[in-house]
Amino acid sequence: YYTMNFNGYTAEMLSKDERLIAEEWKRELALKSSVEEIRSYFFGGLTPEKLNAHPFKKEIDQNARLKAFLGFAKVCEFNISYLDPWSDKDFIERQNMLPKLITEGEKLIKEEKSQFWKKKYAFQLLRLTFYNNEPEKFFFYYKTWFGAGKEKTTIDWWATHYYSEWVTQKAIGMKA
Tell whether the model's pLDDT for residue 58 goes beyond 60: yes
Local structure of 126: helix, strand or coil: helix
At residue 88, the pLDDT reads: 64
Tell whether the model's pLDDT for residue 84 goes beyond 70: no
Per-residue pLDDT reduced to its tens digit, 153-175: 888 988 999 999 998 887 777 66
Tell whether the model's pLDDT for residue 79 goes beyond 70: yes
Per-residue pLDDT reduced to its tens digit, 3-54: 444 444 444 446 888 999 999 999 999 999 999 999 999 988 888 899 999 9
Per-residue pLDDT reduced to its tens digit, 111-152: 999 999 999 999 999 999 999 999 999 999 999 999 777 677
pTM metric for this prediction: 0.84
Do 83 and 94 touch, CB atoms closer than 8 A? yes
Residues 6 and 73: their CA atoms lie apart, in Å, by: 18
Tell whether the model's pLDDT for residue 60 goes beyond 90: yes
CA Rg, the chain, in Å? 16
Give the list of residues 6+ apart from residue 152 with CB closer than 8 angstroms, or none: none
